[in-house]
Structure 1
């Protein structure tokens, strides 16, 4: 087996960034729930004092990106249909991921990982729990904090992503997986009561150059806007 192929096999299991919505090396729950009140409510309909949630549906996460987008971000993926995560309620939670390994002989291998997670919140009749929008805003803040606090992350920076929902934050950092340096971007965006998390990272292996952080960020921001638009479109 080619040396880069051996290293790739050991990296695939750890490529996902440990953000709550996405299964990663941290052992976080791929269903996006940690057993706390972050889980979408299935309680009674909102009372007159609690506004109903704006969005009722989620898109198929594996259809969140166009073929053109996937062709640019993960050009050598072997599964263009994506790898869906598990979910016991597709109207409240969904994830999908893609990976790409572009081998160029003596010039090394360019590896890319892309994943998207959707989390939707209903309003709860209990005013202490709150509206779907408030619950999503709370989860949005936790997602940003989780990304910024990724274990082993270096050179952590944040930036705004205009045009991606009601609020959005991009978190970039460097991190090593199996001694290979990765450049990572996580975009967390909120559209009313839906939170969208996009992770995009890359690495140069077997002598290939490490990808440019600015280019990965630009690509991830475009993907996040597309994912948010897919969520809005799913609701007509």
Structure 2
């Protein structure tokens, strides 16, 4: 993004400005996704299924993979036009348990944000404890269980649409956040565009867990 182009772009809404500070947001209590359901709490344990399914019981991930290498360059370019494929590593309180990476760019007046985070837990946790989205729905075919939620927000007349996909595979949790805005039309991208983009990133991220298996 060039300086001349930036000068012509309307100011980012406060909700998107906040997204540009991932370290501050994620540093509070490890990650925001963990605050909605601590796997060690009584409430979270009550929400968990009786135990991992037989086909996943023997599989375990000791550490999260390199989050910035989790998505292939063509996927990043397709979902976040103009972003550097290398991404920006997110600081975490415990790199041996959590890893994250983000990509964001403004292509003309079209803004996109994408991040992927991994967390390895002592025991498998229920995905529903980590979603935090309004009315998430199951996302079949991803890991051992997964959900996806999509929301539309309006900030000073600017629409933003965001999808969050949460996947559990054995004791690993993957969270994909993908959102976008069009600053020319002040409309949000279609639900199909954002939802399918988030699911595409989630499928890639699940494949990257193979290198982290113990």
**Which among 159, 177, 201 is matched to residue 223 of structure 1?**
201
Separation in structure 2 between the aligned mates of residue 195 and residue 182 of structure 1, nearest angstrom: 25
**1:164 and 2:150 correspond:** no
Q: What does residue range 32-47 of structure 1 map to in structure 2 within 5 Å? A: 32=31, 34=35, 38=39
Q: CA deviation at 1:9?
A: 8.3
**1:119 and 2:125 correspond:** no
Separation in structure 2 between the aligned mates of residue 68 and residue 60 of structure 1, nearest angstrom: 17
Runs (4+) of structure 1 exceeding 3 A deviation are 8-12, 22-25, 36-39
Structure 1 portions without partners, runs of 5+? 40-50, 104-108, 123-131, 149-156
Structure 2 portions without partners, runs of 5+? 1-5, 41-56
Q: CA deviation at 1:8?
A: 3.6
Q: What is residue 62 of structure 1 aligned with on the other side?
A: 68
Q: What is residue 31 of structure 1 aligned with on the other side?
A: 30
Change in 2 beyond 3 A, CA 1:37/1:215: closer
Separation in structure 2 between the aligned mates of residue 208 and residue 177 of structure 1, nearest angstrom: 10
- Kindly tell me the number of residue pairs found equivalent between the two proteins: 191
Structure of greater Rg: 1
Separation in structure 1 between the aligned mates of residue 159 and residue 24 of structure 2, nearest angstrom: 17
Change in 2 beyond 3 A, CA 1:38/1:169: same
Q: Does the Cα contact within 8 Å between 1:30 and 1:85 map onto a contact in 2?
A: no
Q: CA deviation at 1:161?
A: 1.9
Q: Does the Cα contact within 8 Å between 2:159 and 2:187 map onto a contact in 1?
A: no
Change in 2 beyond 3 A, CA 1:182/1:24: farther
Q: What does residue range 1-236 of structure 1 map to in structure 2 within 5 Å? A: 2-4=7-9, 6-8=10-12, 12-15=16-19, 29=28, 31-32=30-31, 34=35, 38=39, 54-77=60-83, 79-103=84-108, 109-122=109-122, 132-133=123-124, 136-137=125-126, 140-144=127-131, 146-148=132-134, 157-207=135-185, 209-235=187-213
Q: CA deviation at 1:228?
A: 1.4
TM-score (norm 2): 0.76
TM-score (norm 1): 0.70
RMSD of equivalent CA atoms: 3.0
Change in 2 beyond 3 A, CA 1:102/1:187: same
Separation in structure 2 between the aligned mates of residue 192 and residue 65 of structure 1, nearest angstrom: 20
Separation in structure 1 between the aligned mates of residue 141 and residue 61 of structure 2, nearest angstrom: 18
Q: Does the Cα contact within 8 Å between 1:164 and 1:228 map onto a contact in 2?
A: yes
